[in-house]
Chains A and B, each alone.
Chain A
């Protein structure tokens, strides 16, 4: 067990492509860190560099106190779970799990005992003699896990291990992976493109894009205080609604212009974002999470106050049973469409109008497609971004790019994950 640290990592391929640039990351002992980003952002490359499958062009890789840049995978003491499981098809489940022990010259008796132990932890006791082709997808995934945990490595590396499972099994295995990791307490670097996995599994989440680290933080912090437009639009599904806006002063207060409408910015918000007044009369980007647009439960409920509401044309209502996704348009250009398209979850949104914003409201809210509807706006939760740099406009707290020691280690595990 050890801390994994990547310092000033960079990777340049022979053809000149730069996959990583000055990449820093620390996975502390026992921590579950999720590295998330759109496909092709270099997250798998980073993982493979840690595993010893790719050379490190520049930078330092430490596992514990050892610099292991030029150490073979065998001596790095890392275990990896691959996206396609990479089980050895001609070996039985127990031979698959015991392979790494065999390579290390562990005696057959010890091997069998350790394999049994790992198999028991994953519920594979009954299938130890079978070949991978006689296993279900979920069982194969477990064998891949078993192969990693059997030798109690210093670090776990997981490369989208759940992406080949169907949705239901994925949720189940998500909990299972976390349970095993907690139980073994091994530092884990988990790569995924799925922001839901990142949010639910990570003690901390590192968001990257085009080989550059964007933000490292605990999931809720990442969601509530994204460092820039990319993180804001990548994390959360449906994605954050981003619009061009300007802020103008009115007396001692401020108000935000959103197309033809104005929203009053309360003192509460300005207290959270002390830098905001200095952006007065300059173009800005405002971010509104779908759940911060609300509808009253029934027609008799009081209408939201002017200045804390938005009138929008509803284009489409998607009923999910427990909530509604309301797709709407405003008379303002949207921002960040490109980044949104990269997120797989958004593509799944299917036939929704591309230029529409989304509100997430309660299931029996009175709303119909084609109507002009007034949404209540949870103004204190608005996020603002500099349109040129894309960075979040200060909330008075330092933006943590590196995930250094200042952010707290492990949040309480959500109770529903007990399996």
Chain B
């Protein structure tokens, strides 16, 4: 009796080992066969190491912010930066961030501003990039090449160089301290146009558009029913790039806004930081730390949401080859 159960137990264990091994082999199948591609083991290890170092380097400030957002003003300045130190002040910090600590009471206002600029500017930029990219990729019109080169050349001009003329123009048309002053330039995204054009050329084949035309679809319907779904991965990518760019933009809002209530988070946090340094007002330091953390969270959420949409190979099956 016991021998029987023992053997069945052994069989069960062997079975499980076999299944595990099969799964491991299956996983290996999915990996890139380095040896086949002539990449040496050492080279692969070196590249992996370099990537790891870069990842750590990128994560260090975030980790620092995470640790220090739990500290009060005394322990923040006196304790080791990469570990916890009592007392635990995370929730206190968080609630005072949204209170009128500094007399201006503006963190929440800055947060809403940033959200507004990033959503309207980023979405607008993405829609315009998509339309422009589709036009450049799939319609041959007079001067299209020249126009595209012109769009790309906009990449070469640093924002700093045009800030003064931009400021003068804004002063003339009354866009200083206006939300539109921030949103309109954010909608211009040459990188987005370039990315969309390149992607559309690969993902929305001319033959598909031709087929739809013969099927009797109008140009707008082709765009909405066929091109747009196929562009979804690129659309999401460009959306992310644009939203992040607006969210993190410091220079443009810095020159066009002088009213505290118009600032986005970047400029607002900068104002806090310089005030803290100038006046030695240590009460503000914990708020800067937790403010930085709260600023990051929406972008991390956005990444997490959008990466699900990055399913490539959407086109597979539509065309032969």
Contact = CB atoms under 8 A, between A and B. Distances in A.
A100 B216 contact: yes
Given A84-B207, A88-B226, A103-B221, A52 B317 contact: no
Nearest to B208: A86
Contacts of B205: 84, 86
Interface string B207-219: 1101111111110
B313 to A, nearest CB: 8
Interface in B266-321: 313-321
Given A73-B213, A103-B217, A84 B317 contact: no
Interface in B168-223: 205, 207-208, 210-218, 221
A155 to B, nearest CB: 11
B230 interface: yes
**By CB atoms of chain B within 10 A, which of A83, A86, A87, A131 has the most?**
A86
B216 A103 contact: yes
Given A73-B216, A79-B214, A104-B216, A84 B230 contact: no
Contacts of B207: 82-84, 86
A56 interface: no
A89 interface: yes
B214 A53 contact: yes
A132 interface: yes
Contacts of B317: 87, 89, 131-135, 140
A87 B319 contact: yes
B254 to A, nearest CB: 43
A86 B210 contact: yes
A404 B282 CA distance: 97
Interface string A95-119: 0000110011000000000000000
A103 B217 CA distance: 6
A164 interface: yes
A99 B212 contact: yes
Contacts of B212: 88, 99
A73 B218 CA distance: 10
Contacts of A131: 317
Given A103-B216, A147-B215, A85 B210 contact: no
Chain B contact residues: over half helix, strand or loop, or mixed?
Answer: loop
**By CB atoms of chain A within 10 A, which of B211, B226, B314, B320 has the most?**
B211
A104 B208 CA distance: 18
Contacts of B226: 88
A409 interface: no
B40 interface: no
A168 interface: no
Contacts of A89: 230, 314-318
Contact of A137 (B215, B216, B320): B320
Contacts of B214: 51-53, 73, 78-80, 100, 157
Nearest to B222: A103
Contact of B211 (A52, A78, A86, A104): A86
A88 B318 contact: yes
Interface residues of A, number: 32
B229 interface: yes
Nearest to A74: B216
A74 B216 CA distance: 4
Contact of A86 (B216, B218, B229, B318): B318
Interface in B202-255: 205, 207-208, 210-218, 221, 226, 229-230
Contacts, number: 86
A48 B209 CA distance: 13
A164 B207 CA distance: 15
A85 B318 contact: yes
Contact of A90 (B218, B221, B229, B320): B229
Nearest to B207: A86
Interface string A130-149: 01111101001000000100
A137 B317 CA distance: 9
Contacts of A82: 207, 210-211
A80 B316 contact: no
Interface in A21-57: 48, 51-53
A99 B207 CA distance: 15
**By CB atoms of chain A within 10 A, which of B215, B221, B230 has the most?**
B215
Nearest to B232: A90
**By CB atoms of chain B within 10 A, which of A74, A103, A132, A157 has the most?**
A103
Nearest to A100: B215
B221 A80 contact: no
B140 to A, nearest CB: 9
A318 to B, nearest CB: 30
A71 to B, nearest CB: 12
B113 to A, nearest CB: 37
B101 to A, nearest CB: 51
A176 B214 CA distance: 23
B3 to A, nearest CB: 50
B48 to A, nearest CB: 33
A82 B210 CA distance: 9
Contacts of B230: 89-90
B213 A84 contact: no
Contact of A164 (B213, B218, B320): B320
Across the A-B interface, the 5 shortest Cβ-Cβ residue pairs? A133-B317, A89-B318, A164-B320, A132-B317, A74-B216
Given A88-B318, A103-B216, A133-B313, 16 more contacts: A48-B210, A52-B213, A53-B210, A74-B213, A80-B210, A80-B214, A82-B207, A82-B211, A84-B320, A88-B212, A89-B318, A103-B215, A133-B316, A157-B214, A164-B320, A164-B321
26 contacts: A52-B214, A74-B216, A78-B214, A83-B207, A84-B320, A85-B319, A85-B320, A86-B207, A86-B211, A87-B317, A88-B211, A88-B318, A89-B230, A89-B315, A89-B316, A89-B318, A90-B230, A90-B314, A103-B221, A131-B317, A132-B317, A132-B318, A133-B318, A140-B317, A147-B211, A147-B215
